[in-house]
Structure 1
Amino acid sequence: MELLGSTQMATYTRPKTSHFLPAISTMASSYRTHQPLSAAANQHVSTPWRTNTYFHTGSAVPTLSSVPRDTLDLVRAKTTLFPSNRTALTARYTPDDWYKSNQSNYRESESSRNSAERLRRDTLRLMQDKEQLTRRTQETTSRNLGERLNDITFWRAELSHEVDNMVTEIAALVEVKRRLERALAETESPLQVAQECLYHREKRMSIDLVHDDVEKDLIREVETIKSCQERMRRHLDRAVAQLAANRAAQHELERDLSDKVTAQRIDDRCHHLRNTSDGISFYRGIDRLDPSLSLPDTWSKFTDDNILHSQSQRASSHKLRDDIEVLLNTTSNEMWKQFNSVNVAFTSRISETADAKNSLQTHLAKTLQEIFQTEMLIESLKRAIKDKESPLKVAQTRLEERTRRPNVELCRDYPYHRLVGEVREIEDTMLCLRERLMEAEGTLQTLVKAKVALEHDLSIKANSLFLDQEKCMSMRKTFPSTPRLVGYS
C-alpha cells in the first residue's frame, strides 16, 4: 500500500510471449480506442504515465543550475523525510479542478449511458424488425415453395394422365399391329392356292390351253392378294414406326414425370423445413451458385410441349389404327370378292368343259357306230365284188368256149352279143363296186380319223376337267374366313 497522498503510477511492458492476448472486458468502455504506446514504451522504458485530466504540470520548474545549493539540500532532506511530497514540485490541483473533474465525469457518464440506452433501444428495435423481416421472408419463401409444389403436383398429374393414355394407346396399337401381322400371314395361303391353280392349269393340253376367264380371274386374284399384302406391309411399317415414336414420347413423359417426382420430394422436404428441424446447416456461398437450367416459363413450356407431343403422337396412332381397321376390312372384302369371282368362273368353265366332253362322247359313239356300219358295208362290197367274179367267169368262159366253133358256126349271133354285154355289164358292176369300196374305205379312214380326234379331244377335256375340278377346286374349298382375314384368330 502506498502512502497517503501519493499518485498511482502505471507501467506497461510488452509481454515476452507473442501468444499472449489481453482479456477483453464485456463492458462498453472496453471497446474505446486508446492511444497507441510510444516507442519508448515498446522498448520497456518504465516512464511514469499521468493523464492530463487529473494532473497538471507546474508552470515554472526550477533547474538545478538556478537553485542554490542550500535550498537543494533542504529539498532533498524534505523529500527524503516525506515521500508523499516527491511530486509536489511537478503537479498539484485545486478544488475547482477537482469539482470540474467530477462534473466532467458526471457528464461523460450520463452521455455514455444515454448513448448506451439509445443504442440498446435501437438495437432492440432493429432486432425486432429484422426478426419480423426474416419471419416474413421465410413465410413468403414457404408460400412460394407451396405454390411451386402445387404447380409440380398439377403437372405431375397431367403427366401421369398422359402416360396412362399413352400406355393404353401403345397397347391398342400393338394389338392392331398383331392383327395386321396375322392377317398378312393369312393371305399367304390364298396366294399360294391361286398360284398353284395357275401352275396346274398350265398342264392343260392342246386346244384347252386357252387364256380363258378363269385364267384372267386367277391372275387378277394373284394381283389383288399381292396388292393387299403390299398395303398391309406399308401399314405394318407405319405401325412399327408409330410404336417407336409412341414409346419415345412415353419415355420423355416418364423421364419428365420422374424428374417431377424427385423435384416434388425435394421441394416438399424444403417446404417442411423449420428453424428447429434436423439436418439444417451452413452452406457458405450457396446463394452465389446458380445451377439453374430453366426459367418458370420454359419449365412449364417443356412439360407442356412433352404433353402436346405425346397427344400428337396419340392422335397419329389413333388415326393409324383406324386406317388399319379400314384396310383389314377392305382387303378382306376385295379378296373374298375376287375369290368368289374365280370360283364362279371355274364353275362356268367346268360346266362348259363337261358339256363339251359329253358332246364329244356322243359324237364319238355315233362315229363308232358309223365306223362299224361302214366296215360292214365294206365287207358287203367285198363279198358283192367277189360274188360277181363267178358270173364274170361264166360269161367269159362261154365266150371263150364259143370261139372254138368251127367255120361258119363262128357266128356273131344274139347270144354272142348278150355274152359280150353280160361281160361288160359285170365288169362295169365290179368297177362300180370297187369304186364304192374305195369310197367306203376312204370314208372309214375319215371316220377313224374323226374317232381318233374325238378320243384325243375327249382326253384333253377329261384332263382339263380333272385339273379344274379335282386339282384347283379341291384346293379352293378352303379359304380363310372373314375374321381370320381381319386378324382375329
Structure 2
Amino acid sequence: MEMAGSTLTATYTRPKSVGHNFLPSISTMTASYKSHAPPHALTQSLSLPWRPSTYYKVAQVNPTLGKYQRSFPSTLDKIPPLSASNRTALFTRYTPDDWFKSNVTNYRTSESWRNSAERLRADTARLVQDKDQLTFRTQQETSKNLGERVSDITFWKSEIQHEIENQIAETNALLEVKKRLERALSETEGPLQTAQECLYHRERRAGIDLVHDDVERNLLKEVDVIKSCQERMRRHIDKSVQQLSNNRAAQHELERDHSDKYSALRIDSRCHVLRNTSDGIAYHRGVEKVDATVSVPETWAKFSDDNLLRSQSERAASAKLRDDIENLLNITSNEMWTQFNNVNVSFTNRIAETADAKNKLQMHLAKTLQEMFSTEQTIAHIKRAIAEKDSPMRVAQTRLDERTRRPNVELCRDPSQLRLAGEVMTIDDTINILKSRLREAEDTLQGLVHTKASLEHDLSVKANSLFIDQEKCMGMRKTFPSTPRLVGYS
C-alpha cells in the first residue's frame, strides 16, 4: 500500500487486464466503443491520463510483415471516442478503504517514531558517556604513541649524527691519502723522464754498439715498472675519487635523513605537548581523509637502518682502500728503487766492458799499424826480387836465340840447349811465383788497411758509447727521489 498523499493513478485509472498483457482483439474493441460521441472528441482531451487515440496510435506501430501485409484498411481507424460521462466513471482517484488504511498507517507511524525517540534519548545518554571515555582514552593513547615516536626519532637521530661524524672523519682521512698518492704520482715523472732520455741517448750509439744489452733491457724494464706503478696509482686515484663520491653520497643521505628527523622531532614534540586547552588548535576539515604517508614504522626504521648500513659499508670500503693505497705506495717505492739500482749496476758494468774493449782495440790498432809497416817492406822486397830476375831472363833467352842460328846439323838438342830452355822456364816460374806473392802481400796490406779503418771506427764508436753511458746517462742518474717523496710525503 502506498503512503498517504501519493498519487494513485496507476491503480484506479485503468481496468485490470484479464489473463494476459496483449492488446484486445480488433473486433472486441470495435464492439465496445459504439458511442454516440463525435469521432474526434476523445482525441482532443489532452488532460486525461489515458488517451485512447495515443494508445491505439502506439499499438498500430506494429510493423507489417512483408508479403502478408493486408491491402484493405485497418479497423482501428474506425474506433469511436469515449463520452464525457464514461471518462468520469473510469477515472475516480481513491476508495474508502484507501482512506481508512491511510489513517491507520499514520497512527502506527506516529507511535513507532515516539518509541524510537525514547530509545534514542536513552541510548544517546549512554553513547555520549561512552564516547567521552573513548575520546579520553584515545587521546591518552595517541599522546603515549607520540611520546614513543619522539623517543624513537631521538634514538635514530643520535645514531645518524654519530655515523655522520664518523663518515666525515673517514672522508677526510681518505682525502689526505689521495693527496699523498697524487704527490707520489707526480714524483714518478722525473725518474720516468730520466729513463726515457737514457734510452733516447743510447739510440745515438753507432755501429755494433747498438746492442740490446743488459743496460737497455733494464732501462726498458725501469720504464715499464714506473709506468706500471703510475697506472696502479691512477687506478687507485680513480677508486679513491669514486669512494669519496660514495662517502659523500652516503653522508648526504644521512644528513638529509638527519634533517628530516630533526623536522619530524620538532613537529612530533609539539604535537606531543598539545592539550585540549593549548593555543593554536583549530579545525582542519577532512584532514583525516588525506593519507599523505609514504611509509610504515617497519619501512621507516628500515630506511634509517639502510642508510646507516650503507654508510658503515662505505666507511669499511674507504678504510680498506686507504690500507691498499698505503701498501701500494710502499710497494711501488721499493720496486722503483730496486730497478733504479739495477739499471745503475748495469750501466757500471757496461761502461767497464766498453772501456776494456776500447783499450783492447787501441792495442790491436797499434799492432795492425806495425804489421802494415812490415807488409809494406815485404812488398818492396818482392818487387826488387822480381826486378832482379829481368837480367837472367834476358841472358837465357838471348843464348837460346843465338843458338837457333847454328847451321845444319849443328842444331843439336844437346844438354846445353835443354838446360837453357829449363833455365828460361825456371826463371819464368820464379817471376810468376813472386808476382803471386806480391799480390798476396798487397791484398794483405789492403786487409790491414781495412782493419785499421775498422779499428779506428770501432774506437770512435766505443768512445761515443762511453761518452753516452758515462757522461750523459750516468750524469742524469746521479739523483733519484727519496723514499718519503715516493710515498707521498712532501
> Residue type matched to 2:217 in 1?
K
Query: Which shifted more, 126-135 or 226-235?
Result: 126-135
1:75 aligned partner: none
Query: Which shifted more, 194-203 or 364-373?
Result: 364-373
> Residue type matched to 1:273 in 2?
L
Change (3 A) 1:291 1:440: closer
1:250 aligned partner: 251
Distance in 2 separating the partners of 1:379 and 1:133: 142
Distance in 2 separating the partners of 1:282 and 1:188: 74
Q: Please report the RMSD computed on the Cα atoms of aligned residues, expressed in angstroms.
A: 4.0
Per-residue Cα deviation, 1:256-295 (whole angstroms, up to 9, x for no partner): 0000011111112222334443322232333333322211
SS at match of 1:487: coil
2:456 aligned partner: 455
Distance in 1 separating the partners of 2:454 and 2:469: 22
2:489 aligned partner: 488
Distance in 1 separating the partners of 2:218 and 2:488: 25
2:173 aligned partner: 172
Name stretches of at least 5 consecutive residues in structure 2 with no aligned partner.
Answer: 1-120, 396-423
Q: CA deviation at 1:318?
A: 1.5
Asked if the contact 1:381–1:437 (Cα under 8 Å) also holds between the matched residues in 2, the reply is no
1:163 aligned partner: 164
Change (3 A) 1:362 1:148: same
1:148 aligned partner: 149
What does residue range 27-426 of structure 1 map to in structure 2 within 5 Å?
Answer: 137-369=138-370, 371=372, 377=377
Per-residue Cα deviation, 1:6-38 (whole angstroms, up to 9, x for no partner): xxxxxxxxxxxxxxxxxxxxxxxxxxxxxxxxx
> Residue type matched to 2:464 in 1?
N
Query: Which shifted more, 285-294 or 152-161?
Result: 285-294
Per-residue Cα deviation, 1:36-83 (whole angstroms, up to 9, x for no partner): xxxxxxxxxxxxxxxxxxxxxxxxxxxxxxxxxxxxxxxxxxxxxxxx
Change (3 A) 1:441 1:261: same
SS at match of 1:210: coil
SS at match of 2:346: helix
Change (3 A) 1:128 1:358: same
Asked if the contact 1:194–1:218 (Cα under 8 Å) also holds between the matched residues in 2, the reply is yes
Asked if the contact 2:379–2:442 (Cα under 8 Å) also holds between the matched residues in 1, the reply is no
Per-residue Cα deviation, 1:382-413 (whole angstroms, up to 9, x for no partner): 9x969x99xx9xxx9xxxxxxxxxxxxxxxxx
Asked if the contact 1:381–1:434 (Cα under 8 Å) also holds between the matched residues in 2, the reply is no
> How many residues are matched?
337
Identical pairs, percent: 68
Q: CA deviation at 1:374?
A: 6.4
1:405 aligned partner: none
Distance in 1 separating the partners of 2:436 and 2:149: 126
Q: CA deviation at 1:338?
A: 1.7
Distance in 2 separating the partners of 1:187 and 1:463: 29
Asked if the contact 1:385–1:433 (Cα under 8 Å) also holds between the matched residues in 2, the reply is no
SS at match of 1:281: coil
Distance in 2 separating the partners of 1:298 and 1:237: 35
Distance in 2 separating the partners of 1:453 and 1:207: 11
Asked if the contact 2:347–2:469 (Cα under 8 Å) also holds between the matched residues in 1, the reply is yes
SS at match of 2:208: helix
Distance in 2 separating the partners of 1:441 and 1:289: 120
Q: CA deviation at 1:133?
A: 6.3
TM normalised by structure 1 equals 0.59
> Residue type matched to 1:233 in 2?
R
Distance in 1 separating the partners of 2:306 and 2:380: 109
Q: CA deviation at 1:152?
A: 0.9
1:418 aligned partner: none
TM normalised by structure 2 equals 0.59
Asked if the contact 2:195–2:219 (Cα under 8 Å) also holds between the matched residues in 1, the reply is yes
SS at match of 2:181: helix
SS at match of 2:469: helix
1:479 aligned partner: 480
Asked if the contact 2:202–2:469 (Cα under 8 Å) also holds between the matched residues in 1, the reply is yes
SS at match of 1:488: coil
> Residue type matched to 1:470 in 2?
E
Q: CA deviation at 1:328?
A: 2.0
Distance in 2 separating the partners of 1:342 and 1:280: 86
> Residue type matched to 1:353 in 2?
T
SS at match of 1:203: coil
Distance in 2 separating the partners of 1:169 and 1:373: 86
> Residue type matched to 2:284 in 1?
Y
Asked if the contact 1:169–1:314 (Cα under 8 Å) also holds between the matched residues in 2, the reply is yes
Distance in 2 separating the partners of 1:215 and 1:254: 57
> Residue type matched to 1:486 in 2?
V
Change (3 A) 1:439 1:149: same
1:410 aligned partner: none
SS at match of 2:232: helix
1:464 aligned partner: 465
What does residue range 5-16 of structure 1 map to in structure 2 within 5 Å?
Answer: none
Asked if the contact 1:378–1:441 (Cα under 8 Å) also holds between the matched residues in 2, the reply is no
SS at match of 1:232: helix
Per-residue Cα deviation, 1:211-237 (whole angstroms, up to 9, x for no partner): 111111122222222222222222222
Q: CA deviation at 1:370?
A: 5.0
Distance in 2 separating the partners of 1:476 and 1:262: 65
> Residue type matched to 1:240 in 2?
V
Per-residue Cα deviation, 1:193-216 (whole angstroms, up to 9, x for no partner): 222222222211111111111111
